[in-house]
């Protein structure tokens, strides 16, 4: 770790230089214990964002739709079944955006709702559309309010938590800073309720997290995510070249002013090919292709696409365009990609050259099973 003065300077510089900021807020910071929206909490957050960001562009990733829909539907707790979660989200999302619209209107700011699923961001055309919409909203002075599309998202196309969604949105919009707000004021080296634990002021890389039991380092509120999801999100963003501040919603003003609050995650990498970050972190494989040793080398160590000749086995039910896992002979996932064929088509292609396939089945089969542009390496 660096010295306190150097750390504070890095944080202040990162915040001061950020022209585009993604702020994520959790359900527990917006709702009452009974599950309804707390208008005062929403207004307090909007007050902070409006006053602290000035001319900066802000994207707000907001949880709270399901929680906001509980009380109006007579539910006393978050349901476990997907259908009732979707119903609560359908009611709550409208209430949430209406509250944000009214609150930001006090500052002459418009709000635009953007609901995403993983399909919207791992497929090339959908990814471009999502980026274009967000960029246009910001260019027109609106505040995009982003949430997972809980009303239609199934287990197969869910992000799972809005912390990870926020990290990926920060990359999507090329943000300069990500601020994760919850009911915990930072990352601790143990359970914050246990005497003797202390807050970690900064994380410069993975080594700073060694020996820390993140699972017990604070659990955030009533939402779906805890500290584990927040640290994972911070790692994703930092590895993509985006610094992160993790703190409580009550300290949002200090975080946006660059003052020493919460935990500051330094950049650990540079921006990668945009859509591939989503493919690696946001997609859920619908099946798997087992590769022979030559194909593994070509995919992992080379720059080649995956051809039919290098595939030994196919598993799962998927359609062309779906994400699939690419495995070595030992069953280890080495890459992930968007497949160009349906699962039912691939068995007849196994181990065969594209030239032979084109001659026998037609020219449309003279192509890659997974193109290099639709492939991300997970293991080297």
246, 275, 304 - which closes a domain: 275
Give the Cα separation of 191 and 283 in Å (integer).
Answer: 31
Find out whether 268 is annotated in a ligand binding site: no
Question: Would the annotation count 63 as a binding residue?
Answer: yes
296 located within any domain: yes
147 is in an annotated binding site: no
Last residue of a domain, one of 247, 275, 303: 275
Across the chain, mean pLDDT equals 85
Does 224 belong to an annotated binding site?
yes
Annotated ligand binding at 227? The verdict is yes
Could you say which of 226, 251, 275 is where a domain stops?
Answer: 275
**183 is known to lie in a ligand binding site:** yes
CATH number for the domain spanning 339: value is: 2.30.130.10
Q: Are residues 228 and 94 in the same domain?
A: yes
The answer to whether 149 is annotated as binding is no
230 marked ligand binding residue: yes
Of the pLDDT bands very low, low, confident and very high (cuts 50, 70, 90), residue 217 is: very low
Q: Give the model's confidence band at 184: pLDDT under 50 very low, under 70 low, under 90 confident, else very high.
A: confident
- Domain-located, residue 280: no
Model confidence band, residue 222 (pLDDT cutoffs 50, 70, 90): very low
| Residue in this structure with the two tokens 């700011």, named with its chain if needed | 109
Domain that holds residue 28: 4-275
Burial of 352 (0-12, 13-18, 19+ CB in 10 A): middle
pLDDT for position 336: 93
**Neighbour tally for 162: CB within 10 Å:** 27
Higher pLDDT, 86 or 270: 86
Q: Rounded to two decimals, what is the model's pTM?
A: 0.80
Give how many domains the chain has, as a whole number.
2
- 228 annotated to bind ligand: yes
Other CB atoms within a 10 A radius of the CB of residue 160 amount to 16
Contacts of 220 (CB under 8 A, 6+ apart): 26, 28, 182, 183, 184, 226, 227, 230
Task: Clarify whether residues 54 and 174 are in a common domain.
Answer: yes
- 131 shares its domain with 216: yes
Q: Is residue 327 located within the same domain as residue 222?
A: no
Are 85 and 146 in the same domain?
Answer: yes
State pLDDT tens for residues 241-259.
999 999 999 999 999 998 8
């Amino acid at each position: 770790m660096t010295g306190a003065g150097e750390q504070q300077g890095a944080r202040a510089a990162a915040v001061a230089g950020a022209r585009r900021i993604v702020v994520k807020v959790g359900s527990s910071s917006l709702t009452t214990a009974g599950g309804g929206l707390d208008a005062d909490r929403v207004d307090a957050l909007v007050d902070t964002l409006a006053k602290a960001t000035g001319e900066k562009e802000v994207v707000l990733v907001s949880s709270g739709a399901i929680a906001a829909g509980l009380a109006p539907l007579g539910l006393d707790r978050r349901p476990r079944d997907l259908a009732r979660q979707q119903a609560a989200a359908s009611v709550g999302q409208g209430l949430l955006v209406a509250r944000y619209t009214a609150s930001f209107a006090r500052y002459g700011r418009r709000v635009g709702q953007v609901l995403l699923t993983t399909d919207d961001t791992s497929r090339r055309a959908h990814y471009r559309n999502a980026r274009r919409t967000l960029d246009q909203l910001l260019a027109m002075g609106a505040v995009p309010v982003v949430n997972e599309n809980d009303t239609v998202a199934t287990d197969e196309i869910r992000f799972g938590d809005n912390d990870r969604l926020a990290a990926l949105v920060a990359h999507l919009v090329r943000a300069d800073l990500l601020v994760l707000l919850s009911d915990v004021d930072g990352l601790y080296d143990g359970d914050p309720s246990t005497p003797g634990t202390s807050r970690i002021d900064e994380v410069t890389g993975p080594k700073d997290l060694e020996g820390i039991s993140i699972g017990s380092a604070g659990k955030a509120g009533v939402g779906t995510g805890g500290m584990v999801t927040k640290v994972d999100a911070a790692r994703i963003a930092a590895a993509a070249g985006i610094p992160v501040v993790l703190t409580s919603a009550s300290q949002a003003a200090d975080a946006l002013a660059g003052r020493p609050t919460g935990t500051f995650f330094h950049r650990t990498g540079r921006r990668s090919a945009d859509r591939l970050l989503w493919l690696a972190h946001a997609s859920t494989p619908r099946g798997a292709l087992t590769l022979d040793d030559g194909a593994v080398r070509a995919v992992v160590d080379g720059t080649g696409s995956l051809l039919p000749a290098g595939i030994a086995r196919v598993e799962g039910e998927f359609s062309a365009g779906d994400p699939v896992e690419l495995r070595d002979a030992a069953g280890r996932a080495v890459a992930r990609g968007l497949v160009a064929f349906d699962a039912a088509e691939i068995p007849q292609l196994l181990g065969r050259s594209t030239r032979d396939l084109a001659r026998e089945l037609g020219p449309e089969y003279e192509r890659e099973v997974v193109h290099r542009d639709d492939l991300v390496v997970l293991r080297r």
